[in-house]
Amino acid sequence: MPLRIGDDAPDFSTETTEGIINFYEWIGDSWAVLFSHPKDFTPVCTTELGYMAGLKPEFDKRNCKIIGLSIDSVSDHVRWANDIQETQGHVLNYPLIGDTDLAVAKLFDMIHPNASGSSAQRTAADNATVRSVFVIGPDKKIKLMLTYPMSTGRNFDEVLRVLDSIQLTAKHQVATPVNWKAGEDVIIVPAVSDEEARKKFPQGWKAPKPYIRIVPQPE
């Protein structure tokens, strides 16, 4: 069955550049971003992983861990990290999974189910993981799923923006409008009645339509 938002994220144990981890234990009480890249020593992936390393302090502020994955070996990851630092200016500061048996990639539908993992026959159409992103909550449930084409580098600032929204809406009964950024106004969700809303938001709200109730972002 394909994974969907709200499903439990698959648990697994695997080898990474920071040793063997059990995914659930590694997440602990944190949030987590698990993302896959097609192949080590390739240009777009190098820019992505370097940028994510630079962005890691922002994820740390949000109690969110980062972990990457491809079906390359851990030893390849370690060698490639030197190129990432040299060309992108950031030291790799989060673990990379060496999923050489494709076990994790197949759990998360990051690779074709018939892919063999043969290094001699690896192609983008078969034996390369797609550019997937999963945001997983402390409850180990999937909160966000994104999949990008092989040729398009991801916007990890957008992943950070969505994390801000998810964390905010998990705490308060609000939703975030189009292009919302942290600190901007939010919308009271329809499930909250006006009576309940007056208790939660005593300062009141703007309502261009009865179903659009806009309030400042709660703390």
Which amino acids are annotated catalytic? 45
Sheet arrangement for strand 131-136: 19-22, 13-16, 96-98, 64-70, 31-36, 131-136, 142-148
- Three-state DSSP string of the chain: CCCCCCCECCCCEEEECCEEEEHHHHHCCCEEEEEECCCCCCHHHHHHHHHHHHHHHHHHHCCEEEEEEECCCHHHHHHHHHHHHHHHCCCCCCCEEECCCCHHHHHCCCCCCCCCCCHHHCCCCCCCCCEEEEEECCCCEEEEEEEECCCCCCCHHHHHHHHHHHHHHHHCCEECCCCCCCCCCEEECCCCCHHHHHHHCCCCCEEEECCEEEECCCC
Give the tokens for residue 150. Answer: 């092989």
Question: CA 147 to CA 143: how far, in whole Å?
Answer: 14
